[in-house]
């Protein structure tokens, strides 16, 4: 079923709030990764609001959905979405990366907060997500497993080991969303190490793969619906995005992969993101 106009508006509103939280969090931490989560905010918000069956009430139940942030460095946006869902206290967001905080610089498994798994080392997430999907099927749980990945992470060999096994086991309850922004730390992906056509690669590995505009919440929603209907093979959604989306000086700039904005840059970012600057 297609998104209603109200649902699409709500997702876009939340995505904007997530972006505001991301720049505030990374600014407060004085370090972190703002570019990725800004780019992922639209498709992540679509997933978390419209599809991911995870809430304060069911966070410890067997048949909830699972989520693995394969590109763990983009966790500022993930934490902001868990706060939107009431799983993380809003005050805690500004303790991101601080000593003793539950919001580690890369996610650490904490089921109370809705954080299903520890990630950070690229390449490890999809294998774990496939294992969760296999276990859910073994237990006859009606739960889906969602995992994010990225174009840069697709350079890791373990991703393709996991892609092979997930297809071999026919894990129709597994969906990977690949953030494809053509940027990696050292520069443009095509200049550093081109992963080429990920839709064709995932299809060749036996997945149901589609490519969408990762900022088009209606298209992302349709792809997630199609993934649910694909029950005999895992689904890959290649989401084309712009790194740093919504903050002009961060857009399409590899320099903003892992740098915190200063006070002036934060003020400009929040102004561009339409936030009331306090």
Partner 1 sequence: MHQLAPLSKGANQKIATRAAYGQALLELGNQHQDVVVLDADLSGSTKTAVFGKAHPDRFFNCGVAESNMMGTAAGLACTGRKVFASSFAMFATGKAWEPVRQSICIPQMDVKICASHAGLTVGEDGKSHQMLEDITLMRVLPHMKVIVPADSVETAEAVRLAYETPGPVYVRLSRASTPVIFGDEYRLELGRGAILRDGSDICIAACGVELAEAMIAADILANRNIEARVVNLACIDPIDVDLIVDSAEHCGAILTAEEHQIRGGFGDAVAQVVVRHHPVPMDLVGMDDSFGQSGPASDLIRHYGLDGPSLADRAETLMQRKER
Applying CB under 8 A, the residues found at the interface with partner 1 are 62, 66, 108-109, 116-121, 123-136, 138-139, 141, 157-158, 161-162, 164-165, 168-169
Contact 79, 71 (CB under 8 A): no
Comparison of 141 and 180: residue with beta carbon closer to partner 1: 141
Comparison of 123 and 214: residue with beta carbon closer to partner 1: 123
Beta-strand pair 208-213/187-188: unpaired
Comparison of 155 and 165: residue with beta carbon closer to partner 1: 165
In whole angstroms, how close is the CB of 136 to partner 1 at the nearest point? 6
Three-state DSSP class for residue 26: helix
Comparison of 96 and 117: residue with beta carbon closer to partner 1: 117
In whole angstroms, how close is the CB of 67 to partner 1 at the nearest point? 11
In whole angstroms, how close is the CB of 62 to partner 1 at the nearest point? 8
In whole angstroms, how close is the CB of 110 to partner 1 at the nearest point? 9
Comparison of 117 and 256: residue with beta carbon closer to partner 1: 117
Q: Which two tokens stand for residue 160?
A: 């393709």
Q: What letters, b where the CB count within 10 A reaches 16 and e where it falls short, cover 222-248?
A: bbbeebeeeeebbbbbbbbbbbbbbbe
In whole angstroms, how close is the CB of 141 to partner 1 at the nearest point? 7
Q: How far apart are CA 241 and CA 225, in angstroms?
A: 20
Contact 150, 182 (CB under 8 A): no
Contact 38, 243 (CB under 8 A): yes
């Amino acid at each position: 079923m297609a998104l209603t106009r109200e649902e699409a508006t709500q997702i876009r509103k939340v995505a904007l709030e997530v972006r505001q939280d991301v720049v505030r969090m990374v600014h407060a931490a004085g370090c972190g990764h703002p570019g990725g989560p800004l780019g992922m905010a639209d498709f992540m918000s679509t997933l978390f609001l419209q599809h991911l069956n995870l809430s304060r009430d069911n966070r410890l139940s067997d048949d909830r959905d699972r989520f693995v942030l394969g590109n763990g460095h983009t966790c500022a946006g993930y934490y902001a979405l868990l706060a939107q869902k009431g799983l993380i206290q809003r005050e805690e967001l500004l303790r991101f990366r601080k000593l003793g905080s539950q919001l580690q610089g890369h996610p650490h498994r904490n089921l109370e907060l809705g954080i299903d798994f520890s990630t950070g080392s690229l390449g490890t997430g999809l294998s774990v997500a496939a294992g969760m999907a296999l276990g859910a099927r073994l237990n006859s749980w009606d739960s889906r497993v969602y995992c994010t990945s990225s174009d840069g992470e697709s350079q890791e060999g373990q991703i393709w080991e996991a892609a092979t096994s997930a297809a071999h086991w026919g894990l129709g309850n597994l969906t990977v969303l690949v953030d494809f922004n053509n940027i990696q730390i050292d520069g443009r992906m095509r200049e550093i190490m081109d992963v080429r056509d990920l839709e064709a690669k995932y299809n060749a590995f036996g997945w149901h793969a589609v490519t969408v505009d990762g900022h088009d919440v209606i298209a992302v929603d349709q792809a997630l619906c199609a993934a649910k209907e694909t029950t005999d093979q895992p689904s890959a959604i290649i989401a084309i995005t712009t790194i740093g989306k919504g903050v002009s000086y961060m857009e399409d700039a590899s320099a903003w992969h892992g740098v915190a904005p200063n006070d002036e840059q934060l003020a400009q970012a929040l102004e561009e993101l339409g936030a009331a600057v306090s």
